[in-house]
Amino acid sequence: MDDKNPAYRLYAAYLDCINSRRFDRISDFIQDDIVRNGEKLGLVGYVAMLERDYRDIPDLSFTPEIVVAAGGTIAARLLFDCTPRGEFMGLAIDGRRVVFAENVFYRLRDGKIGTIFSIIDKAAIEAQL
Amino acid sequence: MDDKNPAYRLYAAYLDCINSRRFDRISDFIQDDIVRNGEKLGLVGYVAMLERDYRDIPDLSFTPEIVVAAGGTIAARLLFDCTPRGEFMGLAIDGRRVVFAENVFYRLRDGKIGTIFSIIDKAAIEAQL
């Protein structure tokens, strides 16, 4: 791992921020005009998404399994082991425990995340239901 | 992009190999005991998977949108624009055109891919049906 790339430190601090639900600090990591999977969420919309995720999945936690950073891009494989209360990704989870991964790319701009390309392993969740 | 990392050249050559369906050359890039998403496919099983993919999706082509390599890991976001003939990921595509991405990590060992962690954007495909 190229620890010299400051993106690794940024990403660790970002995960710590969202895992500790300190959304007042999220503008340290996320650009005002953040775009996620083609959707122009903006910072307010991004925080609203995280708040909804934590409401729907009270035991949500982001655990990095792989992090690769080079140039202005970070790639991460995140692991989740949690119990969504109702629906998640259109699937009726209803409090069952599910274990799945998210493979996600972050494009940085001026030292903050500007664009996110995320894929959650829906097929793996379906296989557990 | 850190072009000095030889993994970029390896990955470009690997994509060229599978896009040109030169599976006789795949052992240049893939370890004999390749594991994909926890499944011990081995080289023979991996080629069988690719042959099945090309049979089910005759116009399959792997187009890299993002490639990040550091240390012994490559991360790629691949784009697909194709027409699966029948079922794909349990979805009845039946020759319709679908556009989707795969976010995938490759762990290298001795200069070849040894482990793959792939997620295909099934939710995006479902939204197009």
Residue contact B77–A5, C-beta within 8 A: no
- Window B:50-109, CB contacts with A under 8 Å: 65-66, 68-71, 73-75, 77, 89-90, 101-105
Q: What is the pLDDT of residue A113?
A: 98
Q: What is the pLDDT of residue B3?
A: 61
- For the segment B70-74, the average pLDDT, to the nearest whole number, is 95
Confidence of residue A4 (pLDDT cuts 50, 70, 90): confident
Nearest chain A CA: its distance from B121 CA (Å): 6
Q: Which residues pair with A115 in a beta bridge?
A: A35, A107
Confidence of residue A42 (pLDDT cuts 50, 70, 90): very high
| C-alpha to C-alpha distance for B121 and A80, rounded to whole angstroms | 17
User: DSSP state, A25?
Assistant: G
Given a cut of 80, whether residue B78 has pLDDT beyond it is: yes
Q: What is the pLDDT of residue B4?
A: 74
Question: Where would I find the beta strands (DSSP E) of B1-129?
Answer: 30-36, 39-40, 63-70, 73-82, 87-88, 91-92, 98-109, 112-120
Query: What is the helix (H) or strand (E) element at residue A98, kind and residue range?
Result: strand A98-109
Given a cut of 60, whether residue A2 has pLDDT beyond it is: no
Q: Does B12 touch chain A (CB under 8 A)?
A: no
Q: What is the pLDDT of residue A3?
A: 61
Share of chain A above pLDDT 90, in %: 96
Residue contact A120–B119, C-beta within 8 A: yes
Nearest chain B CA: its distance from A95 CA (Å): 21
- For the segment B47-75, the average pLDDT, to the nearest whole number, is 97
- For the segment A71-82, the average pLDDT, to the nearest whole number, is 97
The three-state secondary structure class of B96 is: coil
Share of chain B above pLDDT 70, in %: 98
Residue contact B119–A121, C-beta within 8 A: yes
Residue B70 is nearest to which of A1, A117, A126, comparing CB atoms? A1
Closest by CA to B77, choosing from B50, B101, B53, is: B101
How far, CA to CA in Å, does B81 sit from each of A70, A98, B17, B48, B84? 27, 31, 19, 22, 10
Closest by CA to B4, choosing from A70, A1, A6, A74, is: A70
Given a cut of 70, whether residue B77 has pLDDT beyond it is: yes
- For the segment A83-111, the average pLDDT, to the nearest whole number, is 96
Q: Which residues pair with A113 in a beta bridge?
A: A30, A108
- For the segment B79-93, the average pLDDT, to the nearest whole number, is 96
Q: Is the Cβ–Cβ distance between B25 and B18 less than 8 Å? A: no
In chain A, which residue's Cα lies nearest the Cα of B118? A103
